[in-house]
């Protein structure tokens, strides 16, 4: 089912979660480019609400991928936003059935599974793009253009960092879905920072060869609970009014992270205030004390990489910071680039030995939207649609074969952290 230039690409949502519905919203904003014609979702309420939002008839609603692929192909593509450990078991059957796939990151929960998908995409001749949306953020795209221009010469070193805010750390990696590798099957590095490792690899443009990593769960442990902390914020905590992790402050008063905390709120079903309070007091996992959860993923981790040709790079993930931000500093043989995503600008700097000078610099400002990915989400979807129409992929293309190296770093980094040794990275076979 090939999309024609004058007809919208059709897609099925697989897993009607917050991320997949955000990508699918491109169909509302640009209906001439994308049309949602089906949904695969085991939860009947979520399936019904999604169908209503996109005008999907009953014939386009399925509980499982198996149900979808039993019948004739109903769309050009699938937007797969299932949980991490379901990516491979849902995507490979879709490829076999003829669907191209826009797949949420991380690609898989193990390097072996990732390679199964990599090989399946070649076998079935299907297009797979990964939701590494930071490549599409104007900030990173503009930096990549400067790198490709040769203005700063060959890359010698890259330093990236992600500072995960205290409230984001709490909602996702302490109280939430990704707080335990046993439950989510993904390490925090892969769940949160595969974006950053992808950016690092994209900028260098060469094969990673070695990786080392260190990190641990240092802060959010029961023995570190402050005096007076209880088990639930709104039940037995004596310090809730002063605690920055208070569920009341963050999820009710500030209204943060509702799409995680309140079931189906991103589909228009938000509980009233009394229901929110009761939920946080009783069975809602987001009402738990951050020092008394079942979390086991790291709250900080550092990664060091050596690339083919000798370039090196570091990435630091630090959880529970005051301000959320992503930083990048690229040092080349002729100059350097340094910037913060959330600031919406970066500086290009060169040595300047003229009398009275040390260096020269210019600031480049980019359009940055107030979202966690710097405006890249829907630009990714637009590129996916263009590729399915047979157009040339953009400079930011996140085709599967262009996205695996960053994941190699992530998987090997976690092995390095656990085993305490430097890991070698083999060259992957390339798509013909």
pLDDT in tens, 121-171: 999 999 999 999 999 999 999 999 999 999 999 999 999 999 999 999 999
- For residues 257 and 212, membership in a common domain is answered with no
Please list, in sequence order, all residues whose beta carbon lies within 8 angstroms of the beta carbon of residue 55, skipping any fewer than 6 positions away.
none
Residue 181 shares a structural domain with residue 300: yes
230 and 190, same structural domain?
Answer: no
Please state, as a whole number, how many other Cβ atoms lie within 10 Å of the Cβ of residue 119.
12
Structural domain span for residue 142: 135-220+295-372+399-424
CA dist 315 to 48, 214, 405, Å? 42, 11, 15
- Is 432 within a domain? no
Lowest mean pLDDT among 26-30, 117-121, 325-329: 26-30
In this prediction, residue 368 carries a pLDDT of 75
Residue range 66-70: mean pLDDT, rounded: 97
User: What average pLDDT does the segment 53-64 reach?
Assistant: 96
Comparing 29-33, 128-132, 412-416, the range with the smallest average pLDDT is 29-33
> CA 25, CA 238: separation in Å to the nearest integer?
43
Domain boundary among 62, 96, 126: 126
Q: What CATH number corresponds to the domain at position 93?
A: 3.40.50.720
420 and 306 share a domain?
yes
- Give per-residue pLDDT as tens, 374-404: 678 889 999 999 999 999 999 999 999 999 9
**Would you state the pLDDT for residue 372?**
52
* pLDDT at 108 > cutoff 60: yes
Kindly report the number of other CB atoms within 10 A of residue 257's CB atom.
Answer: 19
CATH number, domain containing residue 411: 3.30.360.10
**Per-residue pLDDT at 4 exceeds 80:** no
pLDDT band at 428 (very low <50, low <70, confident <90, very high): confident
CA dihedral 95, 101, 107, 112 (to 10 degrees): 10
Tell whether 143 and 30 lie within a shared domain.
Answer: no
- What confidence tier does 432 reach under pLDDT thresholds 50, 70, 90? very low
User: What's the half-sphere exposure (Cβ side, CA atoms, 13 Å) at 287?
Assistant: 17
Q: Which of 2, 173, 186, 156 is nearest to 82 (CA)?
A: 186
**SS3 state at 25:** coil
Give the mean model confidence (pLDDT) for residues 301-326. Answer: 97
Structural domain includes residue 380: no
CB atoms within 10 A of CB 5: 7
Which pLDDT value is given to residue 430? Answer: 56
Pair 70, 184 in one domain: no
Is residue 121 domain-resident?
yes
Q: Is residue 30 part of a domain?
A: yes
Q: Could you give the number of structural domains in the chain?
A: 3
Average pLDDT, the chain: 94
- Model pLDDT for residues 279-299, shown as the tens digit of each residue: 999 999 999 999 999 999 999
71, 92, 126 - which closes a domain = 126
pLDDT at 404: 95
Query: Same domain, yes or no, for 32 and 117?
Result: yes
pLDDT, position 431? 44
What percent of the chain shows pLDDT beyond 70? Answer: 96
Give 333-366 pLDDT, tens digit per residue: 999 999 999 999 999 999 999 999 999 999 999 9
Q: Say yes or no: 266 and 410 in one domain.
A: no
Q: Which phi and psi angles does 349 have, rounded to 5°?
A: -125, 140
pLDDT band at 2 (very low <50, low <70, confident <90, very high): low
Axis crossing angle, helix 138-149 with helix 188-204, rounded to the nearest 10: 30
Residue 383 lies in a domain: no
Q: Same domain, yes or no, for 203 and 253?
A: no
35 plus 141 within the same structural domain: no
How confident is the model over 161-187, as a mean pLDDT? 96
Q: Which of 75, 98, 126 is the last residue of a domain?
A: 126
| 430 lies in some domain | no
Tell me if residue 320 falls in helix, strand or coil. Answer: strand
Indicate if 196 and 216 belong to the same structural domain: yes
Residue 22 within a domain: yes
- pLDDT band of residue 316 (cuts 50, 70, 90) is very high
First to last CA, the chain: 23
Tell whether 64 is covered by a domain. Answer: yes
Is pLDDT above 90 for 6?
no
Q: Quick one: pLDDT at residue 427?
A: 83
Question: Do 73 and 155 lie in a common domain?
Answer: no
118 contacts: CB under 8 Å, gap ≥ 6: 400, 401, 404, 428
When pLDDT is cut at 50, 70 and 90, the band that residue 266 belongs to is confident
Residue 118 predicted with pLDDT over 70: yes
């Amino acid at each position: 089912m090939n999309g024609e230039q004058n007809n919208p690409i059709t897609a099925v949502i697989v897993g009607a979660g917050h991320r997949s519905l955000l990508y699918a919203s491109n169909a509302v904003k640009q209906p001439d480019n994308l049309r949602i014609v089906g949904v695969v979702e085991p939860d009947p309420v979520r399936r019904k609400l999604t169908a209503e939002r996109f005008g999907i008839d009953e014939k386009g609603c399925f509980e499982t991928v198996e149900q979808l692929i039993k019948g004739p192909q109903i769309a050009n593509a699938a937007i797969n936003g299932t949980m991490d450990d379901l990516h491979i078991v849902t995507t490979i059957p879709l490829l076999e059935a003829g669907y191209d796939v826009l797949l949420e990151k991380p690609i898989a929960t193990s390097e072996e599974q990732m390679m199964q998908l990599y090989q399946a995409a070649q076998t079935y001749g299907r297009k797979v793009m990964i939701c590494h949306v930071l490549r599409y953020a104007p900030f990173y795209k503009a930096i990549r253009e400067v790198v490709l221009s040769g203005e700063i010469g060959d890359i010698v070193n890259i330093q990236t960092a992600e500072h995960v805010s205290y409230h984001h750390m709490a909602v996702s990696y302490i109280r939430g879905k990704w707080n335990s590798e046993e439950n989510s099957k993904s390490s925090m590095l892969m769940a949160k920072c595969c974006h950053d490792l992808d950016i690092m690899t994209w900028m260098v443009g060469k094969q990673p060869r070695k990786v080392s990593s260190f990190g641990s769960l240092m802060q959010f442990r029961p023995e570190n609970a402050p005096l007076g902390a209880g088990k639930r914020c709104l039940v037995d905590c004596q310090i809730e009014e002063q605690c920055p992790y208070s569920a009341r402050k963050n999820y009710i008063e500030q209204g943060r992270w509702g799409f995680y905390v309140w079931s189906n709120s991103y589909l228009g079903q938000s509980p009233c205030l009394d229901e929110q309070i009761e939920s946080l007091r009783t069975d809602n996992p987001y009402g738990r004390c951050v020092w008394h959860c079942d979390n086991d993923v790291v709250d900080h981790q550092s990664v060091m990489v050596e690339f083919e040709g000798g370039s090196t790079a570091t990435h630091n993930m630090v959880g529970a910071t005051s301000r959320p931000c992503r930083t990048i500093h690229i040092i080349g043989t002729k100059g350097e680039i340094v910037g913060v995503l959330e600031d919406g600008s970066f500086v290009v700097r060169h040595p300047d030995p003229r009398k009275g000078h040390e260096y020269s610099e210019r600031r480049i400002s980019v359009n940055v939207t107030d979202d966690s990915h710097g405006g890249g989400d829907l630009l990714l979807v637009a590129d996916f649609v263009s590729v399915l129409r047979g157009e040339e992929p953009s400079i930011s293309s996140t085709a599967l074969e262009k996205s695996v190296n960053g994941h190699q770093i992530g998987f090997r980094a976690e092995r390095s952290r656990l085993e305490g040794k430097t890991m070698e990275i083999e060259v992957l076979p390339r798509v013909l």
